[in-house]
Amino acid sequence: MPDPSGIESERKVKAYLDQHVIRYEHSAFIADDPIAFPHAFEDPRDQEIIGLFAALLAWGRRATTLNKLAELVERMDFKPYQFVHSFRPTVDAERLASFKHRTFQPDDATSLVLALQAVLHDYGSLEKLFAVSLPNDADSIGPGIQGFSDTLLTIIPETPQRMRKHLPRPSTGSACKRLAMYARWMVRPGPVDLGIWSSVSPSKLVLPLDVHTGRQARNMGLLTRKQDDWKAVVELTTFCRALCPGDPARYDFALFGLGAYQGQQIPVSV
């Protein structure tokens, strides 16, 4: 395994990771991944709405997540943006009345839809909310994630306290894996990511840190912090940004792929 110490070793690490980005960042992996759901829509307004749900529900067994997302899209009449924009609690809440995924309860779904509706009214899009929360001089999207979650948690008074675990914030120390992944989907161009948010630079993205990415990064000596928290995200992203200043999150494909699918001929998904 490459040793990241020294200029020559850093070049070897970059070449090694670049090789595996090419291997794993491929459109063939979309179908069995939650990102398939925003890819199924052409309107960016639909993509960013269902993309957020897809990212937030992307935990647990992959097949279960995909089934629940398919159920949610059907409950939305296959029109996520219109469903959120026109949602009336007294009339439409029944659509979400029995929807749940692990700890994500029907009340969570309803409150998130109402919060998103308020955001669309106040900001016009989820992209604009994220961008207004991100200072021009920010080193990363950390402030964007913070402001995005803070707003969704407070923009309506009915939001349950337990939504805080579904909408994490760097200020709590969370790695914010699912929101970092959502930002990657929205900001980076394809073939896997959608690249529909032009107001956020790929250079400010952070790596979505999970058990697979963290384990592989530590095995390679790219990450010294033992906890998978926000400080670890910053440490790993700083290293990856040194390799590719304009697009550090591209190495998510390599590290996740190596950590999750090492030894397999064809990964199930990315």
CB atoms within 10 A of CB 242: 13
pTM: 0.93
Summarised one tens digit per residue, pLDDT across range 16-36 is 999 999 999 999 889 999 999
The Cα 121–Cα 157 span in angstroms is: 16
Report the SS3 class of residue 122. Answer: helix
CA separation, residue 101 to residues 32, 59, 67, 220, 234 (Å): 18, 9, 10, 34, 30
Summarised one tens digit per residue, pLDDT across range 117-156 is 999 999 999 999 999 999 999 999 999 999 999 999 999 9
**Chain-wide mean pLDDT for the chain?**
93
CB 236 within 8 A of CB 209: yes
Q: Which domains does the chain have, with CATH numbers?
A: 1-28+206-270 (1.10.1670), 31-199 (no CATH)
Summarised one tens digit per residue, pLDDT across range 162-211 is 889 899 999 999 999 999 999 999 999 989 999 999 999 999 999 999 99
Whether 87 has a pLDDT exceeding 90, the answer reads yes
The Cα 56–Cα 115 span in angstroms is: 14
Mean pLDDT of 77-106: 95
Name all contacts of 27-33 with Cβ < 8 Å and 24+ positions apart. Answer: 27/190, 27/191, 27/192, 28/266, 29/192, 29/267, 29/268, 29/269, 29/270, 30/192, 30/269, 30/270, 31/269, 32/62, 32/66, 32/268, 32/269, 33/62, 33/192, 33/269, 33/270
CB 200 within 8 A of CB 53: no
Q: Which two tokens stand for residue 60?
A: 């647990």
Q: Name every residue whose Cβ is closer than 8 Å to that of residue 185 and which is 6 or more positions away in sequence.
A: 35, 38, 51, 55, 193, 194
Residue 29 C-alpha from the chain's centroid: 16
Letter for the amino acid at 33?
A: D
The Cα 248–Cα 74 span in angstroms is: 35
Q: What is the pLDDT of residue 172?
A: 97
The Cα 39–Cα 9 span in angstroms is: 38
Q: Which of 225, 152, 219, 226 is nearest to 182 (CA)?
A: 152
For 169-181, give the DSSP string. -GGGT---HHHHH
